[in-house]
């Protein structure tokens, strides 16, 4: 169960304690996150909401090992990542984190297959094994028939599905989604949400998602609000009209 009071037990997959992040801009210290606690268990789907500048993306970056906190600690699956070196953190990300960005960030000169294969090139898998993994991932997101298309030949929703396939292909410990539906129309957004929910339900993936869209957030297990760098639980939401999964 997601907790923000620092009282989570040993079951927590992701555990943040006293997390703080301060930026220095023009000599001024800007505190984005302060003394934040968070516990997320395996297989949970957490949405983060909050006004612009509240620190949602910063929190996601810290949990994903893309940035280092100014204070506090983060432990994921028993690994304390806060004090890892830059190169070790890179290796850790490759193994544990799947990233899904708002702007998809696919490499335009690579096909869907090649984009999804990128994380696997860092592993010792053979070419045949990589092919099998990529085909499986693209199958999960329903793009088996588009694997040799370039991003420009795909719709926005399809591009985001390729990004999801790239995020899950190496079977990471958890997925971080930064506004995954922010650039999509409602229909495509619904499809992406269905897919993320399916990953949680069928594949026991843990998903942390930042969104501005309350309809999207409503489909997560729990929505947490960030207000001036402090995390507050908005409550466990019940089934919503548009999706009806929960």
The CA-CA-CA angle for residues 165, 137, 198, to 5°, reads 80
Of 72 and 119, CB closest to another protein: 119
We find the least distance from the C-beta atom of residue 217 to another protein, in angstroms, to be: 22
* Nearest alpha-carbon partner for 60 in 103, 92, 97: 97
Within the chain, how many helices (H) and strands (E) appear?
A: 7, 10
Closest distance to another protein from the beta carbon of 33 (Å): 14
CA atoms of 165 and 74, how far apart (whole Å): 26
User: Which residues of the chain form contacts with another protein (CB under 8 A)?
Assistant: 61, 64, 66-67, 86-87, 90-91, 93-95, 99, 101, 103, 105, 107-110, 114, 118-119, 121-122, 127, 166
Name which of 8 and 64 has its Cβ closer to another protein: 64
If the CB atoms of residues 71 and 110 are measured against another protein, the closer one turns out to be 110
Q: Which is nearer to another protein, 114 or 173 (by Cβ)?
A: 114
- Shorter beta-carbon distance to another protein: residue 66 or 77: 66
Considering only CA atoms, give the Rg of the chain. 18
In whole angstroms, how close is the CB of 192 to another protein at the nearest point? 18
What are the CA-CA distances from residue 33 to residues 18, 40, 84, 210, 230 (Å)?
A: 9, 18, 20, 15, 6
List the one residue out of 50, 56, 63, 68 whose CA is nearest residue 14.
63
| Residue (114 or 136) nearer to another protein, CB | 114
Structure tokens at 131: 């092919």
CB of 11 to another protein, least distance (A): 27
Cβ density class 112-134: b for 16+ within 10 Å, e for less: bbbbbbebbeeeeeeeeebeebb
Which of these, 78, 97, 89, lies nearest to 15 by C-alpha position? 78
The nearest distance, CB 84 to another protein, in angstroms, is 13
| Nearer Cβ to another protein (27/108) | 108
Beta carbon of residue 162, minimum distance to another protein (angstroms, whole number): 12
Least CB distance to another protein at residue 170 (A): 8
């Amino acid at each position: 169960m997601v907790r923000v009071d620092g009282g989570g037990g040993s079951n927590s997959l992701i555990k943040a304690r006293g997390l703080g992040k301060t930026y220095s801009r023009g000599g001024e210290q800007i505190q984005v996150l302060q003394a934040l606690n968070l516990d997320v268990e395996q297989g949970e789907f957490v949405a983060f909401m909050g006004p612009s500048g509240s620190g949602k993306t910063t929190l996601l970056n810290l949990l994903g090992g893309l940035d280092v906190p100014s204070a506090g600690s983060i432990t994921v699956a028993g690994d304390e990542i806060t004090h890892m070196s830059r190169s070790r953190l890179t290796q850790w990300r490759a193994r544990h984190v799947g990233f899904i960005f708002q702007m998809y960030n696919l490499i335009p000169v690579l096909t869907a297959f090649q984009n999804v294969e990128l994380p696997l090139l860092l592993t010792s898998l053979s070419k045949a094994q990589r092919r099998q993994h990529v085909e499986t991932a693209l199958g999960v997101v329903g793009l088996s028939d588009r694997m040799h298309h370039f991003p420009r030949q795909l719709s926005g929703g399809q591009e985001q599905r390729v990004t999801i396939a790239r995020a899950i292909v190496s079977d990471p410990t958890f997925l971080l989604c930064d506004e995954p539906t922010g650039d999509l129309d409602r229909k495509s957004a619904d499809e992406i949400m269905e897919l993320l929910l399916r990953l949680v339900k069928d594949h026991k993936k843990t998903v942390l998602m930042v969104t501005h869209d309350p309809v999207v957030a409503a489909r997560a297990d729990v929505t947490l609000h960030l207000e001036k760098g402090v995390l507050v639980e908005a409550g466990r939401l019940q089934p919503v009209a548009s999706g009806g999964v929960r």
